[in-house]
Structure 1
């Protein structure tokens, strides 16, 4: 199966500028392709990940992906998908963000035994910053018809609310990027989200105007990712799911994928994993016949976490997950506790010893001593995975994991993290 056919089977292609021409070209050549991201933030989230999964698939198939970090376009602001102007950031912030995004891309694309010779990360500031104002107007602006630009959805959608000349010119800058990569880095294909269609087609028109020979250049967009209930994919109850482990821990990342519904999981496996068609179809049978085993969800969570964070982080996420399921939390390190209990109820306790029933009330975990004694006597309280039934059991800082944390469990599912001051 060709890579284009594989992407179509996965439901991952929304629009193509020349579907037949692209498939023929890809089947006969090792194609150069690119996708860009502006450093308006210091980390990608999983919504950003989708087009770069495309690049990775092409890379694994022997093609040559180029990642463009928008050090220049990020200073302008892409109007796509927005109803108002962006707040401009300083170049210091943009450069810092660009460095962090570059590191994330390196982790995604420079792994395994794949030949890396054809992979590049570039920053469009390197060429766009060299264009003077007069050169921009004479050599580039002259090739863009305002009426045509106004007809592009990315611009038309902003006319009622207003758009600055700065963001209006973004389409030109992205077109210059495509032409520069086409001429200097042998890139023939641009990939982007559905909201990038106008920018991509503008770039193709510009290439055709600038090149005298017959142009082999193509554009492809991915569909907007929606969940089965019609809501936009990519956020958890706590907000965006980031690729930066400092923003979203590998455990939280793993749990996000593990908690996908039966209705969505196969679609997400097609998008976000490199499993074969046969493997995915087998998992689809599992969902239909044994949904309670959640084999597809576990596979999805493991595959994506391994791809983004590596095997070591996946192993740690699995360890935390298993410890919380079995209650054997005393096997966790202080760092793993911080990761796994980040969003659970938390309390602080003084570094003093006290009887358990009194201690539970003093730190505010249980409201009354009578209730605390009942919970303890009935075997409902565990400390660091060990059930305690003695109301006078002495709780002391010496019990803390890493000299800091004590994990209290009430019943089977209610966990609380206590930090000794």
Structure 2
């Protein structure tokens, strides 16, 4: 019996070592296509493809306005994929020829690696946390750390509060809930830095007039995995009890219209898997508990995402009805989009409810905050771009994206204040 137990232990340890030392996923020859979907049969075909997660990966779900889907195709499936879209008369256009080329372009040069923390490259979790420590040490009178909770793998979900005076209305920002959306944590750290260092009068007023609660990397396990093992990883890292697929879409795991109206998936292998129950993920559970605890300390909630260039408000669960204050949310959205488009880049953002402008998405953090905590200004920002680079936004675009964020935030908070929500 002891021998059998020892053999079993060795097998477990060997399996763990293999997982730890498994090679980093590569995407040589993987291509991304823009599909134009004109009817329900075509949409059903695309949805079937999306279930084959090892061969196809949906980058942008179908929405009725554009009638488009962005899908990454494995090279071994390319011939079958082209035959299938041809058979069903689905128009397709290749928008990324080789995903690995874009991943390679993100890699850090020796010069950039030796430079101080900045916004010309993407950083790993440990580097972001070290920078956060330096910020907390440099600005002890106006910053303090807060802890949302622990991840499945035991990492601490950390945030920073910036407060220049007592009694300020609060704004909560959650970033990088989807692991592969690296531009979100890059933008969050830049925004923190601007709130502390900018001498621009409008930015100083933004910093001084509100308490800012910011979580730069929420999905810490997935984010670490996206750097170490798989650049395209989206979900959390908790194994499923009865399925070999790992992780949950944390932004479908909140207890607000959870798994309704096809706004998420019950398939553990899907990129939008909602979990077996709401709050199954320790990360989502920790955030709901933390937000409930500080509910009186903030009035506005914003979630950073990519990509597509949208400002999305509730509701996500239905496009048949809208929030009571939807007209106000549209005014805020218009201010945000107008301010960004006025910049020299001319970047266009669409705004409106998630379900109406983009697609039905249920169990999201923004909808949970809006519906359950009664915070009537809650938005998802979907950053650059519209598909040319998708989740692999080149480092050279980090600063332009951040500049657009600041212009948009100044307008968003200004209009929110004007409408009486702050």
TM superposition score normalised by structure 1? 0.27
- The structure with the greater share of residues assigned to helix is 1
Larger Rg: 1
Q: Which has the higher contact order (CA 8 A, sep 6+)?
A: 2
